[in-house]
């Protein structure tokens, strides 16, 4: 029986016409950059299945403690073109060799030139890393810390909306309706709070609850050579289970604004972003759930990098430095006192060695600090290898 099943699987597999995404580390020019979903959409040809993947293995060594080794993630990319106008894209993610998630799963319908209808599980367009998080697309072994607690990457939810370009104005646009963060469960446990910000509220399409849809949008300008500017917005309220969504404090209002910039010229690249989230009703939320959620979260970073190898070399060796500051208690409501430990900054310095298109070795050193007087956070050495094809 096992042989019969194996034969059927192999036969079905061989009957498919596979095409592989072009092996190419993302361009350092932000006007030419694509993320995994965009490359899958561009690579689909005829009625063929398009397949690709990205992954990273990392080593983190805090000073004074044992280090950790981890297959951080392995993501399988699949796409299919049903017609010239209709395509499907999905990303299946394995995290830490023990968890499986669907990171994206959406249908893209090309209604007209520069106008697409998209529906399913999608990335929320906020900042840089949330949409461009493949390991060969950013410097540093770990993603920026502010993109963990405030944005927080990888932030994806189920929704529907439109995207496209206005070429005459050098603009691209996205606009979607999503389900929101889940703030409270039926046992009145708070899912969002001070230390990790909004991260615990991501529903990740796992039997997501929704009672108030949220709106997300992003506009990007690419009219100056080598420069890309983005303005993002996210507005709505968090979600709570049916049994308690009528209770005062079960959910909170949210307005998030983001600005990001990427620039590349010759062997020099730079990027930066600023994110600010304003939350309402946090006093009632903290009283109901016992959480310590701030009423404002904000953060920013700036990074510069330079390729040390000749421009015509197939390999690239970037040295980079990044400074980031983020505060998940930028402000608080009611009796909640701001926790200065949540006002953090980091300096990350290191190398990104692209040994071939789609393969990078990374190493960096992080100097960590917070606003608590006399505190001594652990600095950290990080090493990693990433692939994307």
DSSP for 28-81 reads SSGGG---HHHHHHHH--TTPEEEEEEEEEEEEEETTS--EEEEEEEEEEEEEE
Domains of the chain: 19-388 (2.40.160.10)
- In this prediction, residue 25 has a pLDDT band, given cuts at 50, 70 and 90, of very low
Quick: pLDDT tens for 273-310.
Answer: 999 999 999 999 999 999 999 999 999 999 999 999 99
pLDDT value at residue 1: 42
pLDDT value at residue 34: 86
Q: What percent of the chain has pLDDT over 70?
A: 92
Could you tell me the two tokens for 281? 């009703």
Quick: pLDDT tens for 359-387.
Answer: 999 999 999 999 999 888 999 999 999 99
What pTM did the predictor assign?
0.90
Residue 19 above 70 pLDDT?
no
Torsion of CA 132, 137, 139, 140, to 10 degrees: 70
pLDDT value at residue 162: 98
Burial class of 79 by CB neighbour count within 10 A (0 to 12, 13 to 18, 19+): buried
- Calpha distance 324→274 (Å, rounded): 10
- In this prediction, residue 45 has a pLDDT band, given cuts at 50, 70 and 90, of low
Quick: pLDDT tens for 51-64.
Answer: 999 999 999 999 99
Quick: pLDDT tens for 146-156.
Answer: 999 999 999 99
Quick: pLDDT tens for 163-200.
Answer: 999 999 999 999 999 999 999 999 999 999 999 999 99
Average pLDDT, the chain: 91
Residue 212 above 70 pLDDT?
yes
């Amino acid at each position: 029986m096992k042989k019969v099943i194996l034969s059927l699987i192999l036969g079905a597999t061989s009957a498919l016409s596979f095409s592989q995404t072009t092996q190419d580390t993302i361009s350092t020019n932000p006007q030419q950059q694509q993320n995994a979903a965009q490359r899958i959409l561009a690579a689909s040809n005829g009625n063929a299945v398009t397949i690709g993947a990205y992954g990273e293995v990392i080593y983190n060594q805090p000073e004074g403690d044992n280090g950790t080794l981890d297959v951080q993630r392995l993501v399988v990319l699949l796409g299919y073109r049903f017609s010239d106008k209709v395509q499907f894209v999905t990303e299946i993610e394995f995290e830490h060799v023990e968890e499986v998630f669907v990171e994206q799963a959406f249908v893209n319908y090309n209604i007209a030139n520069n106008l697409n209808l998209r529906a399913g599980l999608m990335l929320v367009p906020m900042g840089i890393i949330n949409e461009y998080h493949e390991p060969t697309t950013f410097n540093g072994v770990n993603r920026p810390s502010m993109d963990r607690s405030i944005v927080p990457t990888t932030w994806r939810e189920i929704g529907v909306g439109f995207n496209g370009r206005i070429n005459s104005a050098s603009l691209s646009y996205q606009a979607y309706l999503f389900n929101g963060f889940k703030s409270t469960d039926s046992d009145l446990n708070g899912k969002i709070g001070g230390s990790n910000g909004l991260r615990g509220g991501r529903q990740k399409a796992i039997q997501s609850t929704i009672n108030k849809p949220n709106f997300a949008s992003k506009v990007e300008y690419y009219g100056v050579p080598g420069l890309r500017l983005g303005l993002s917005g996210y507005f709505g309220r968090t979600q709570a289970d049916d049994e308690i969504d009528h209770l005062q404090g079960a959910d909170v209002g949210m307005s998030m604004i983001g600005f990001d910039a990427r620039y590349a010229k010759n062997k020099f690249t730079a990027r930066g972003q600023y994110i600010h989230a304003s939350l309402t009703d946090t006093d009632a939320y903290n009283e109901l759930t016992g959480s310590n959620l701030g009423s404002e979260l904000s953060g920013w970073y700036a990074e510069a990098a330079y390729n040390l190898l000749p421009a015509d070399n197939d390999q690239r060796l970037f040295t980079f430095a990044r400074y980031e500051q983020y505060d998940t208690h930028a402000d608080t409501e009611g009796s909640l006192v701001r926790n200065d430990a949540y006002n953090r900054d980091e300096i990350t310095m290191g190398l990104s060695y692209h040994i071939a298109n789609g393969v990078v070795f990374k190493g960096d050193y992080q100097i960590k600090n917070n606003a608590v007087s006399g505190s001594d956070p652990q600095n950290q050495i990080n090493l990693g290898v990433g692939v994307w094809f």
